[in-house]
Chain A
């Protein structure tokens, strides 16, 4: 029987000298190398770096000088996070030989906290083009069923965490790229408040929506990882110059008295979700109610309004990022991304400005709804994962997206596993907070997760 430590449990064991960081790293690297041919979660391993970092963590352990709960913890990074001296491709032929000189800010912060990097993780091409089969590396597979989609774009992180290859990893979220894979892979993932975490050194998709964040097996582990990501970064114009939030001290404080608004029309009327997803949302709200939260319904503008503004902005921003390469290296991109970017070239300046104006109205509507609520709840996906070969080129525009509303508003939003649906595939719901109230979101997720008990079950292939 395989054991699956969490970051929190491994940190306790490392601190108590019951676990060697070098052995922990070797165990996870061996597991990763064994499972990767089926999952394609990693596109590159970095064993020399991992050994060097694990030995350094072990030396600190021996000296009684551990840096905190991430010291000696095996992690990996989505391949849009630049890593000094380690190829960073965006999972694209366009940057197949790109070797950055410096770490991205988040990679540096985790490294300085003692985390041990096992390698670089699969993503959809430049965080939008996938799942694609015409790139230099195949798309990641879902460990609950390897014929199924992981969600994207933080696909490798979702698969690697669920399979226990790593204890946590980086994701990024522009329209749901942390929360979608977290839902479909049955893990936890938080898109922090816009501006809470630095994006310096992360390949961009849409600068007004892009958010860096962590993914892990538990909400507590997400809190530990996020705690090591926050802090003002003058090099990132979007970075908020505010004190670092206390994400950890109240994590087990419960939800008594919190007012939770359920955006019922999103998942019951605007886009009716699967029975499994609906049951998960109901379980989430009833569990939190049993712990003293007040549950009420809230009404927002239609989900389609958020999708319209969100996709226009995302697509136009992405086209602006890739405009020159599209002209010069069109055939170097995979089909999905190059054609999505090509259609984005039809967006006019007036379309974009109207989308930004509508975004402001939508932000005001959500803020007004939250004057009576501390948190919002809705689906993270329309349902369970689907077979990977059924995913279409135009899915971004065809399938309603439950996550992009909170990229538009910049609010913190957590996906927590709410059970299992059709085919035994996991489902996850979103818990959304007010801007910079990431701690409240994590408290509610932790309260639910501890009560729900879903964390005992891992994918069979990983056991």
Chain B
């Protein structure tokens, strides 16, 4: 199981998001951040650095 974000990192992200949480809420949500960390690790499968991401797009209306 992945670890939760460390406290300083987590609090910075909550502050960036503008969320005013109680200390109890912070601890519960920070603990759940381990699920996000686990998923983020799992989607990082081996790949070449130049592999296209899924965020490319096709131009509409371009002339031939």
**Chain A interfacial positions (CB closer than 8 Å to B):** 304-305, 307-309, 311-312, 315, 323, 326-327, 330, 339, 342-348, 351, 353-361, 393-394, 397-398
Contacts and interface: CB of A to CB of B under 8 A. Distances in A.
A238 to B, nearest CB: 14
Contacts of B16: 345
B36 A312 contact: yes
Contacts of A360: 54
A311 B40 CA distance: 10
Contacts of B52: 357
Nearest to B38: A308
A345 B14 contact: yes
Nearest to B40: A351
B51 interface: yes
**10 closest residue pairs by CB, A with B:** A397-B35, A356-B54, A308-B42, A308-B39, A327-B18, A358-B43, A345-B17, A351-B40, A360-B54, A354-B43
Nearest to A351: B40
Given A312-B40, A397-B32, A357 B54 contact: yes
Interface string B25-64: 1001100110110111011110100011111000000000
B42 A339 contact: no
B17 A354 contact: no
Interface residues of B, number: 30
Given A343-B35, A356-B54, A327 B17 contact: yes
Contact of A354 (B21, B33, B40): B40
A394 B40 contact: no
Given A312-B43, A343-B33, A397-B36, 19 more contacts: A308-B40, A308-B42, A339-B28, A343-B35, A348-B40, A351-B39, A353-B53, A353-B54, A353-B55, A354-B43, A354-B53, A355-B43, A357-B47, A357-B51, A358-B44, A393-B28, A394-B32, A394-B35, A397-B32
20 contacts: A307-B39, A309-B39, A312-B39, A326-B17, A326-B19, A327-B18, A330-B19, A342-B14, A342-B19, A342-B25, A343-B32, A343-B36, A345-B17, A348-B40, A351-B39, A351-B40, A356-B54, A393-B28, A393-B32, A397-B39
B39 to A, nearest CB: 4
Interface of B: 5, 10, 13-14, 16-21, 25, 28-29, 32-33, 35-36, 38-40, 42-45, 47, 51-55
Nearest to A353: B53
B55 A356 contact: yes
Contacts of B40: 308, 312, 347-348, 351, 354-355
Contacts of B47: 357
- Of A315, A342, A357, most buried by chain B (CB within 10 Å of CB) is A342
A305 B20 CA distance: 33
Contacts of B21: 342
Contact of B25 (A312, A339, A354): A339
Contacts of A356: 53-55
A305 B17 CA distance: 28
Contacts of B5: 346
B10 A346 contact: yes
Contacts of B53: 353-354, 356-357
Nearest to A305: B42
- Of A305, A344, A354, most buried by chain B (CB within 10 Å of CB) is A354
A456 to B, nearest CB: 42
Nearest to B13: A346
B35 A354 contact: no
Given A308-B39, A339-B25, A394-B35, A327 B55 contact: no
- Of A326, A346, A393, most buried by chain B (CB within 10 Å of CB) is A346
Contact of B45 (A311, A327, A347, A361): A361
A346 B33 contact: yes
A323 B18 CA distance: 9
B21 to A, nearest CB: 7
A398 B35 contact: yes
Contacts of B55: 353, 356
A305 B45 CA distance: 10
Contacts of A330: 19-20
A347 B35 contact: no
Contacts of B10: 346
A305 B43 CA distance: 7
A361 B48 CA distance: 13
- Of B20, B38, B39, most buried by chain A (CB within 10 Å of CB) is B39
Nearest to B16: A345
Contacts of B45: 358, 361
Contact of B36 (A304, A327, A351, A393): A351
B42 to A, nearest CB: 4
A44 to B, nearest CB: 31
B28 to A, nearest CB: 7
